[in-house]
Amino acid sequence: MRGAGVLHDASVVAISLADMNRADAPGRACSIRLDAGPCSAPVEAGAPLDLCTGHLLEAHDWVAGEVGVTDLLPGPCLVCGSRVGVAYPSGRICAICEWRVGDVPDGAVADPRVDVVYYLGYRDQIKIGTSGNPRVRFASLPHDEVLAFELGDRTVEQRRHAQFAAHRSPGTEWFDVHDELLAHIAELRLGVTDPWAQYDRWVSRRLAAQS
């Protein structure tokens, strides 16, 4: 087992040498080359790159200006209620609906129309319809569950009716449950835990786009 101990000691030495070569090793200078020559400032301790404090901050500001910095909002978004925002040098927006923080929603555009194709489950059938106000529409429809939403108007609805026509009850928008339709609904539900939350995000984004 002595050989194993030697190998272990060698590994420790190798790791220690690697640590000495990290950016936080003392005496290393910033790797940025300026017009006047290399930057001579010391590397920031613990930095993942060979950059001094000033150039690290400069790089951070550039990235933040391009992609923003995700952080908590000072209060819930006035449109969708989210507490998470993205900060840019020019301002801050909601991370969910992209409403600009500080803007007050105009009551005239508080409820923009978002047309969707909906999939309602009721007993052993599924209804495929379309609406610009599904909450009101569903109040008059028998259903056990809202299975999914899909952005689209009557054109998309008619396309789905034709796609699943073999399983349609004649003269209605109700379809028998079958694997092809279930697979389509499962695809629409990828990454979606609550269809209503998804719909509310679409409405919020439409409202933000109108501002």
* Residue whose C-alpha is closest to residue 28's, from 55, 46, 50, 47: 50
Query: Torsion angle, CA of 97/101/105/106, rounded to 10 degrees?
Result: -120
Amino acid in position 56: L
Half-sphere exposure of 190 (CA within 13 A, CB side): 4
Please list the pLDDT of the chain residue by residue as tens digits (211 residues): 444 443 344 444 333 434 444 444 457 888 888 888 889 888 888 888 888 888 888 877 776 666 678 888 888 887 777 788 888 888 888 887 778 888 876 654 456 789 999 999 999 999 999 998 899 899 989 999 999 999 999 999 999 999 999 999 999 999 999 999 999 999 999 999 999 999 988 988 887 776 6
* Residue whose C-alpha is closest to residue 94's, from 82, 106, 103, 102: 82
Pairing of strands 84-88, 116-122: unpaired
Residue with token string 């840019």: 88
User: What pLDDT, on a 0 to 100 scale, did the predictor assign at position 106?
Assistant: 61
User: What pLDDT, on a 0 to 100 scale, did the predictor assign at position 93?
Assistant: 87
Query: How far is Cα of residue 184 from the mean position of the Cα atoms in its chain?
Result: 22
How far is Cα 146 from Cα 140, in angstroms, rounded to an integer?
Answer: 14
User: What pLDDT, on a 0 to 100 scale, did the predictor assign at position 98?
Assistant: 79
The three-class DSSP label of residue 112 is: coil
User: What pLDDT, on a 0 to 100 scale, did the predictor assign at position 19?
Assistant: 46
How far is Cα 150 from Cα 195, in angstroms, rounded to an integer?
Answer: 9
Residue with token string 């489950």: 121
List, in sequence order, every beta strand (DSSP E) within 35-164: 37-38, 69-72, 84-88, 91-94, 116-122, 125-131, 145-151
Helix (H) or strand (E) holding 37, with range, is strand 37-38
Predicted model pTM: 0.55
